[in-house]
Amino acid sequence: MKNRFTITIHDDDGVKQFNAHSIVKKFLLYFLLAIGSTFIIGTGIIIYLNDSLNVISVKKASLENAYELQSDKNLELLSQTKEASRVLVTKQKELLEINDKLNDIEQSIGLRPNEGYPLLERIEIANMSTKEREKILKYIPSGSPVPYHGITSKFGYRIHPTLNRKEFHRGTDMRAKMNTEIRATADAVVEWAGLHKRSGYGRLIILSHNYGFRTYYGHLSKVVVKSGTFVHKGDLIGYTGNSGMSNGPHLHYEVRFLQRALNPFWFVKWNITNYNDIFKKEKNIPWQSLVAAITNKTKIQQQAKLEKLVTTPPLSSQKVLQ
């Protein structure tokens, strides 16, 4: 009986007893233990998987958010790239238009378009400020040496009024009464001042200007400057007269560039208001390089002044240093 056990069941019909072998008892025990273990393990696995699924869900949501943010950034970057490309194309078109317009401006004012010059330098030359233009008008003969009342004899071939033969007239005879004041048309050094018998100009003044220019003032009644002295634009240099081979009071006025006679009329009429006209009228001067040289000189002078102001201590500091 040791290997058996009794199972008693109480119900409405009474008490029933069943005898079972101990092996069955062990089997049932192990079975229940297996089911319990399986339940516990399964529950643990379910909990673990559920936690893992939650973690994966959180990571998935985070990745989805990051993906959406990156997608938005990519779309924004793509939009910015397209906008930058559009702006670049627009700027390139504008640059080409500026270059074409600059060519037109250079041609209209008589400057030869030079692709070798940087675009900014070409624009700077073509659109110089009023001060820079005034500098050029100061260095290069411009304006009338006497109050303008017309011309009695033009530049070019003519019949000489006293010799009565055809000759090339290198200047312009300007109408002026006797002893009319004559003013220098640009800053210069007086190269000649006095009687010039061989030329027939009588009393003559020759001014040597910068950049290869000279001006001649002939048939004067009186000279008030001396050779070797410096004169500024607008300074009084003499008075009109009738000296030399002349048939009446007037001023014989010449403008030369590297000894080549130019038509003085364009220089007489040249001023700040019609600044660009000279480039179209006078083709025998390399205006592009000449204007660039004057502009660069002006910049160097301005830079030197600025550096001097920066490096020179105030007056109070100088006294302390002394």
Q: Is the pLDDT of residue 322 over 50?
A: no
Radius of gyration of the chain measured on its C-alpha atoms: 52
- The top-scoring range by mean pLDDT among 10-14, 26-30, 195-199 is 195-199
* pLDDT at site 254: 97
Query: For 68-86, how does the pLDDT look when each residue is reduced to its tens digit (9 = 90+)?
Result: 888 888 888 888 888 888 8
Domain membership flag for residue 256: yes
In a domain, 295, yes or no: no
Residue 46: pLDDT band with limits 50, 70, 90: confident
Instruction: Mention every residue, 6+ apart, whose C-beta is less than 8 A from residue 263.
Output: 155, 156, 172, 255, 281, 282
Residue 197 located in a structural domain: yes
Looking at the structure, tell me whether residues 62 and 152 fall in a common domain: no
Q: Is 56 domain-assigned?
A: yes
Which pLDDT does position 24 carry in this prediction? 66
Please say if the pLDDT value at position 306 is more than 60.
no
For residue range 236-279, what is the model confidence (pLDDT) as tens digits? 999 999 999 888 999 999 999 999 999 999 999 999 888 888 98
Where among 48, 70, 92 does a domain terminate? 70
d(CA 271, CA 276): 9
**Residues present in the chain in total:** 322
pLDDT of amino acid 28: 74
DSSP 210: G
> Above 60 in pLDDT, residue 58?
yes
Domain of residue 267, CATH code:
2.70.70.10
Same domain assignment for residues 261 and 181: yes
Question: Is the pLDDT at 218 greater than 60, yes or no?
Answer: yes
In a domain, 105, yes or no: no
pTM for the whole structure: 0.58
| Position 144 pLDDT exceeds 60 | yes
Is 99 part of any domain?
no
Residues 52, 150, single domain; the answer is no
Nearest to 209 by CA among 276, 282, 137, 285: 137
| Residues contacting 182, CB < 8 A, separation 6+ | 145, 146, 205, 217, 220, 236, 237, 238, 239, 240, 251
Q: Phi/psi zone of residue 211: left (φ > 0), alpha (ψ -120 to 50 degrees), beta?
A: left
What is the domain count for the chain? Answer: 2
- Taking only the tens place, the pLDDT of each residue in 103-119 is 776 665 556 666 667 77
Query: Are residue 65 and residue 174 in the same domain, yes or no?
Result: no
Question: Using CB atoms within 10 A of its CB, is residue 129 exposed (0-12), middle (13-18) or buried (19+)?
Answer: exposed
251 & 153 share domain: yes
145 and 252 in a single domain? The answer is yes
From CA 302, how far away is CA 82, in angstroms rounded? 44
pLDDT for 19-41, tens place per residue?
656 666 677 777 888 888 888 88
Query: Do 153 and 262 reside in the same domain of the chain?
Result: yes
Give a yes or no: residue 114 inside a domain: no
81 found inside a domain: no
Within this chain, do residues 51 and 179 fall inside the same structural domain, yes or no?
no
Same domain, yes or no: 155 and 273: yes
Which of 165 and 316 is assigned the larger pLDDT?
165
- Residue finishing a domain among 70, 85, 111: 70
Check whether residue 9 and residue 144 sit in a common domain: no
Spatial separation of the C-alpha atoms in residues 144 and 240, rounded to whole Å? 13
144, 143, 141, 171: which is closest to 156 by C-alpha?
A: 171
Instruction: Please report which confidence band the pLDDT of residue 315 belongs to, taking 50, 70 and 90 as the band edges.
Output: very low
Region of 234 (left: φ > 0; alpha: ψ -120 to 50; beta: rest) is left
For the chain, what percent of residues have pLDDT higher than 90?
35
Domain range for residue 260? 140-285
Residues 276, 144, single domain; the answer is yes
